[in-house]
Structure 1
Amino acid sequence: MERHRITPRPDWQRIVEEQGLIYPLTRQPDGSLTPYWDESAYYSFTLPEVEALEESVEELHAMCLRAAEYIVEQDRFADLGITDPRLRDLIAESWRRRAELPSLYGRFDLRYDGTGPARLLEYNADTPTSLVEAASPQWFWMEDRFPGADQWNSLHERLVDAWRRQAELLPPGPVHFAHSETDELGEDLMTVAYLRETAQQAGLVTKALSVERIGWDRLSGRFVDEQLAFIRSCFKLYPWEWLATDAFGPQVLETLDNGGGSGSTCWIEPAWKMLLSNKALLAVLWELFPGHPNLLPAYLDGPRELASTTGYVSKPLLGREGAGVTVHEPGAEPSPGHRREGPPRDDEPCVYQELAALPEFDGNRTVLGAWVVEDEAAGLGIRESAGLVTDEYARFLPHVIR
């Protein structure tokens, strides 16, 4: 694994915007704009490195499924902060019927520097973003700059194939694709638009709408779109912890189609993905697979020995984009990892994970985002940041296989 500097293509911003990356710049706290898509450098990997990463990612995914099964079997929902009996039962039913429910993709965030095993930082299996740039612009960048080279990137083909295979699991009617209007950058909009495109290429009929424009028909007891058509299936880039608890949360739970035909709306991702996108999963994994080379020690009841040895990172169970993450180095004052939000509240449940500082390449902190489609490793996206925690000011860099 190496980092290389390179001159960006002329008119690179227009190029990537036309390829779907309409958010190529990031506004910094001082108001300045800096590249989010950063092609002033790229990473290269050897084929054996990529093959080892693929193997690790698929093993981690299998371990996460085992952890989800354990949470359901042992009724460990309270460890995830899930205390509503109705929601707990629906998640458990969703897990037991998972073979009947469409489920698409997820992203592992990994610490890796090319010299040892990849270590799991977290798993977003419900609403992962940075998909568009990983699947499309970085592939076309490679074709422009390194014709004939290769890349760890089969995302597009695997997504189309996944929709095609899972079409029979969907109820009749179009698949709705929903994002939130609160998305100011356009990242959620374009992620959903891209996934809708892959579904269309698989032969599915689709419709787009925003979460805020989903309606509720009191007479039929069903969710409807703006044309008052029933929403039988919906891919939503909207976290389950919001979907289940917002103003229409009760209706979501009452009409949830868990594969048994008793409900009216099949949501993608399914409810059981709440077991994998909760950072309590990290502690359950360490409990089940202590000492595994791809895991970091993690606990729910406190940092234990980490406080006096390696240091640790406290992470809110449902935090996103580094929000609320606090870094505790041995013998030093804790430092908030997020520029806009401080440490988590005293009453906010956290997971305490061993501090494994991100590797530095040319002064940049690097994290790998390894994608899974269905149960198979499917591609790689790389983000760089200046600090210890990868937040919304990180940059995305392309890669090639040497």
Structure 2
Amino acid sequence: MRREHGTPRPGWEKTIEGQGLAYHKAAHPSGLSRPYWDESVHYVLSMDEVEALEEQVEELHAMCLSTVEHVVSAGRFADFAIPEWAWEDVARSWERRDPHLYARFDLRYDGTGPARLLEYNADTPTSLVESSVIQWFWLQDLHPGDDQWNSVHERLIDRWSRLGLPPGPTHFAFTNMDETGEEAMTVAYLQETAEQAGLQTVSVAMEDIGWDSLNRRFVDVEERMIRSAFKLYPWEWMLAEDFGRHAVRHTTWIEPLWKTLLSNKALLALLWERYTGHPNLMPAYLDGPRDLTSYIAKPLLGREGASMRIVTPDVTQETPGAYGREGYVFQGFEALPVFEGQRPVLGAWMVADEAAGLGIRETTGLITDDTSSFVPHRIAD
């Protein structure tokens, strides 16, 4: 694994905007010297490295599913700060094996040893458009003879065709709270892949979904019954809403309710408890840092690197944010590797239960947040 430099394509901004990355400016804080999409650099991996990473993330995914089974069978929902009224519904969702679509592992990897799990974004993962589409066209334009770890698009289409959703259109829900356009474009892209798989689809804002109390069903603005729906609206938000008690029992949601156990950082502690010493894991605990001399405290339901605290013998660093009321996980801390002053985090995509691709974000800081840049990659032996 190495970091290389290259000349950006003339008119690259219009190119990526035309391919769906219309939010690359709005989603990136203003005043930064570096754009969100940065094709002046890229990472090069060998096929051996990619094949090893594929094997590792599929093993991690299997471990995560086994841990969901453990949580359900042992009734350990309180560790995840899930409201007690929803425990049985989460269990039923898992026992039914409600269908799931995709997820993203965030990994620490330097090319010399096993990847280490940072967290699993299994409910509402983003950076999908740039991983699946934008960097693929970059590869075709600048390195057409090389390969890329990227079968996301084809696997999504295949997965939609196999989900076995209820009859009628599948609704694709965005939220009007989205100010950058990232969520809207991500939902639109997934809707396109569903249509390519032959599904009938309808767009709807989460705020426009209504509850028909007489017929006990969710409906859209045209009073059509919502039998199945894709959402980029976190389950923890849904469970806190008035309609949450209906949502857990009505409509087939993608992602399903059982993913509350994979999108919650308490998962890190349970993985370590069950697979202590596994080479792809770092120590993690729910009751404090224990004997860790270097650790990072992560809120169970935090996002974009907010409300985190790094503690080492040499430094203590915190990020602002309003998360943490639900509790924290304390994970062993190893700084991300440095490549030419930048620290990459690897986002390994899963579609269904198979590894599907890679997206890389990098930053100069210890925590990857909304100031990071996305850089493409290629495979060259």
1:314 counterpart (269, 293, 297): 297
Within a 5 Å distance, the mapping from 1:189-200 to structure 2 comes to 189-200=184-195
Unaligned runs of 5+ in 1: 257-263
For the residue of structure 2 that corresponds to 1:226, the secondary structure is coil
After TM superposition, the structure 1 stretch with the greater mean CA deviation from structure 2, 150-159 or 3-12, is 3-12
Partner amino acid, structure 2, of 1:293: P
Q: Quote the Cα distance in structure 2 between the aligned partners of 1:161 and 1:3.
A: 33
**Given residue 286 of structure 1, which amino acid in structure 2 is its aligned partner?**
W
Once residues 345 and 149 of structure 2 are traced to their aligned partners in structure 1, the CA distance between those partners, rounded to angstroms, is: 15
Q: Which amino acid aligns with 1:370?
A: A
Q: Secondary structure at the match of 2:43?
A: strand
Could you say which residue in structure 1 is the equivalent of 2:139?
A: 142
| Cα deviation, residue 32, structure 1 | 5.3
For residues 108 and 27 of structure 1, what CA distance do their matches in structure 2 show?
A: 21
2:28/2:370 contact within 8 Å kept:
no
Quote the residue 1:283 is aligned against: 269
Residue 228 (str. 1) matches residue 223 (str. 2): yes
- Distance in 1 between residues matched to 2:46 and 2:31, nearest whole Å: 39
Measured after TM superposition, the shift of residue 28 of structure 1 is 6.4
Give distance in 1, aligned partners of 2:41 and 2:242: 45
One-letter amino acid of the counterpart of residue 103, structure 1: H
Q: 1:27 touches 1:34 (CA, 8 Å); kept in 2?
A: no
What 5-or-longer segments of structure 2 have no aligned partner?
none
The one-letter code sitting in structure 1 at the alignment partner of 2:299 is P
Answering whether residue 97 of structure 2 is matched by residue 95 of structure 1, we say: no
2:65 counterpart residue number:
65
State percent identity of aligned pairs. Answer: 59
- Residue 292 (1) aligns with residue 274 (2): no
Counterpart mapping for 1:141-180 below 5 A:
141-166=138-163, 169-180=164-175
Structure-2 change in CA distance of 1:118 and 1:279 (3 Å): same
Alpha-carbon offset, residue 399 of structure 1: 0.3
Write out per-residue CA displacement over residues 237-280 of structure 1, whole angstroms, 9 at most, x where no aligned residue: 10001112113222223xx2xxxxxxx41111110001101100
Moved over 6 A (4+): none
CA distance in 1, matches of 2:12, 2:368: 24
Partner secondary structure for residue 277 of structure 2: coil
Distance (whole Å) between structure 1 residues aligned to residue 254 and residue 21 of structure 2:
23
- Distance, in Å, in 2 between the alignment partners of 1:2 and 1:141 is 18
Q: Secondary structure at the match of 2:296?
A: strand
The question of whether the paired residues in 2 share the 8 Å contact of 1:233 and 1:266 is answered with yes
| 8 Å Cα contact 1:26-1:36 kept in structure 2 | no
CA offset at residue 5 of structure 1?
Answer: 1.1
Work out the number of aligned pairs and report it. Answer: 380
User: Which residue, out of 153, 156, 181, partners 1:186?
Assistant: 181
Report what 1:341 is aligned to.
Answer: 321
Change (3 A) 1:225 1:348: closer
Q: CA deviation at 1:30?
A: 6.0
Aligned to 2:55: 55
Name the aligned partner's letter for residue 86 of structure 2.
Answer: L
How large is the Cα RMSD of the aligned pairs? 1.4
What TM-score do you get using the length of structure 1 for normalisation? Answer: 0.92
Residues 284-316 of structure 1: per-residue CA shift (max 9 Å, x gap): 00000000000000000000111x3xx000000
8 A contact 1:28–1:34 mirrored in 2: no
Q: What amino acid does structure 1 have at the position aligned with 2:119?
A: E
2:123, 2:260 within 8 Å by CA — same for their partners in 1? Answer: yes
Write the letter of the residue equivalent to 2:240: T
Query: Which runs of structure 2 are paired with 1:349-364 in the superposition (5 Å)?
Result: 349-364=327-342
Residues in 1 aligned to 2:196 and 2:7: alpha-carbon distance in whole angstroms: 35
Q: Which amino acid aligns with 1:398?
A: P
Match of 1:394 in 2: 372
Closer/same/farther in 2, CA of residues 251 and 27 from structure 1, 3 Å limit: closer
- CA–CA distance in 2 between the matches of 1:320 and 1:349? 14
Q: Distance in 1 between matches of 2:139 and 2:154?
A: 17
Three-state SS of the structure 1 residue aligned to 2:366 is: coil
Find the aligned partners of 1:185 and 1:176 in 2 and give their Cα distance.
22
Aligned equivalent of 1:271: 257
AA at the equivalent of 2:16:
V
